């Protein structure tokens, strides 16, 4: 049996839009934000929090716009999101929200995307001949899951064994803060901190341990408020069982202060 189908007429504007998008190169689609996505992969990656690479996936034109221009554009798009949700932007309480969100994205919580905000690495000679491990414990981690744009909060414990250089201790906190201030995946954050430390300290002997709670796990989806996620990177001497164990003992040790 042949069913007669109604002929479908697309408005010419829509047709050309589809046609245009079809002809665009991958890069063009990326630049204009018209990349097509496979809905199954979207769910899969989000649910399992998979990262695709150790580098944050940034475009080459990521910093062509100034911070001010970025804030203006995000503000416009965020008002649109609120409008679509049905919110009344004339209400005084909501009026400033798009601007606040845009400014917060660019200047605060995602400021670590911009290499200009990277902490300067100042090293000193290891004059004391201290060759044991240096551990910085309980560094606050405030980052944002790149799959849901919700925060994950926790602690990082970082260690290194000097190869002749030492680093200002607050520098380690700043490295953690810089890489946390991006849309992130916890595994990538752990690796990025380890890599940065290796480069700065010119040593392979580094360890990074992060434990955090993800709001995208506790406030949506499975809504699990108890579980936390641990990610670790051991490199160089920390791959040896005794050194690894010593590091873990230091993390566990509680000191009265």
- Closest to Zn ion by CB, 42 or 89: 42
**CB-based contact 99:72 (threshold 8 Å):** no
Binding site for Zn ion (CB under 5 A): 145, 147-148, 216
Report how far residue 11's alpha carbon sits from residue 214's, in angstroms, rounded to the nearest whole number: 45
User: Taking the complex as a whole, how short is the minimal distance between the CB of residue 226 and Zn ion, in angstroms?
Assistant: 17
- Residue 44 appears among annotated catalytic residues: no
- Residue 22 appears among annotated catalytic residues: no
- Closest to Zn ion by CB, 172 or 216: 216
Active-site hit among 49, 157, 177, 186: 186
DSSP 174: H
Q: How many other C-beta atoms lie within 10 A of the C-beta of residue 244?
A: 16
Active-site hit among 49, 145, 184, 196: 145
- Residue 216 appears among annotated catalytic residues: yes
- Closest to Zn ion by CB, 163 or 218: 218
User: Taking the complex as a whole, how short is the minimal distance between the CB of residue 219 and Zn ion, in angstroms?
Assistant: 10
User: Taking the complex as a whole, how short is the minimal distance between the CB of residue 185 and Zn ion, in angstroms?
Assistant: 9
The order of strands in the sheet holding 206-214 is: 183-184, 133-145, 151-161, 206-214, 229-234
Active-site hit among 147, 157, 177, 184: 147
Report how far residue 121's alpha carbon sits from residue 198's, in angstroms, rounded to the nearest whole number: 12
- Residue 148 appears among annotated catalytic residues: yes
- Closest to Zn ion by CB, 145 or 197: 145
User: Taking the complex as a whole, how short is the minimal distance between the CB of residue 152 and Zn ion, in angstroms?
Assistant: 8
- Residue 147 appears among annotated catalytic residues: yes
**How many CA atoms lie less than 13 Å away from 159 in the CB half-sphere?**
27
Per DSSP, the three-state class of 114 is: coil
CA 162-117-32 angle, 5° bins: 125
- Residue 20 appears among annotated catalytic residues: no
**Among all residues, which ones are annotated catalytic?**
145-148, 186, 214, 216
């Amino acid at each position: 049996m042949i069913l007669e189908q109604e002929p479908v007429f697309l408005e010419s504007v829509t047709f050309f839009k589809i046609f245009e998008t079809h002809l665009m190169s991958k890069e063009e689609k990326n630049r204009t934000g018209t990349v097509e996505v496979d809905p199954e992969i979207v769910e899969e990656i989000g649910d399992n929090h998979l990262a695709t690479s150790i580098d944050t996936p940034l475009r080459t034109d990521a910093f062509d716009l100034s911070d001010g221009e970025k804030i203006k554009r995000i503000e416009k798009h965020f008002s649109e999101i609120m409008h679509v949700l049905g919110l009344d932007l004339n209400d005084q309480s909501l009026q400033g929200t798009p601007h606040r969100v845009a400014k917060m994205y660019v200047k605060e919580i995602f400021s670590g995307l911009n290499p200009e905000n990277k902490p300067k690495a100042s090293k000193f000679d290891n004059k004391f001949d201290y060759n044991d491990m240096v551990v910085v414990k309980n560094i606050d981690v405030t980052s944002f899951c790149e799959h849901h744009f919700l925060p994950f909060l926790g602690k990082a414990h970082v260690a290194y064994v000097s190869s002749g250089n030492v680093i200002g201790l607050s520098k380690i906190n700043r490295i953690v803060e810089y890489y946390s201030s991006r849309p992130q995946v916890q595994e990538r954050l752990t690796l990025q901190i380890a890599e940065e430390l290796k480069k700065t300290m010119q040593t392979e002997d580094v360890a990074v341990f992060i434990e955090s709670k993800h709001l995208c796990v506790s406030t949506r989806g499975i809504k699990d408020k108890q579980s936390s996620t641990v990610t670790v990177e051991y490199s160089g001497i920390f791959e040896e069982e005794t050194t690894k164990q010593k590091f873990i003992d230091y993390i566990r040790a509680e000191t009265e202060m």
